[in-house]
Amino acid sequence: MTKHPRGFNSDNSICIIWCIDDIKCAMTNRENPIEISDDECMDILTEIESNHDASLGISWDTIDYHLDEFIFNKTKESEEK
């Protein structure tokens, strides 16, 4: 039996996990990938978790959307310097 936090376990629940490797994989599959750190990946995952629509869940499309936002903001920061 796999144990999850707060008393959840594989007998009474499921757990779907997205990790930094998923974010990095999605980045490398883009037309113009950029370098992304583990910390930046965790920032993206945290943003996804905080703002996801529970009726839609989290999908590769969700990750792509947040990567678009990340790239836009990173480009904007570079241009401002």
Q: List the chain pLDDT tens, one digit each, 81 residues.
A: 666 667 888 788 887 899 999 999 999 999 989 999 999 999 999 999 999 898 999 999 999 999 999 999 998 888 887
Q: What is the pLDDT of residue 64?
A: 96
Number of domains in the chain: 1
Note the maximum CA span of the chain: 53
Domain ranges, residue 51: 5-80
Can you give the three-state secondary structure of the chain, one letter per residue? CCECHHHCECCCCCCCCCCHHHHHHHHHCCCCCCCCCHHHHHHHHHHHHHHCCCCCCCCHHHHHHHHHHHHHHHHHHHHHC
pTM: 0.82
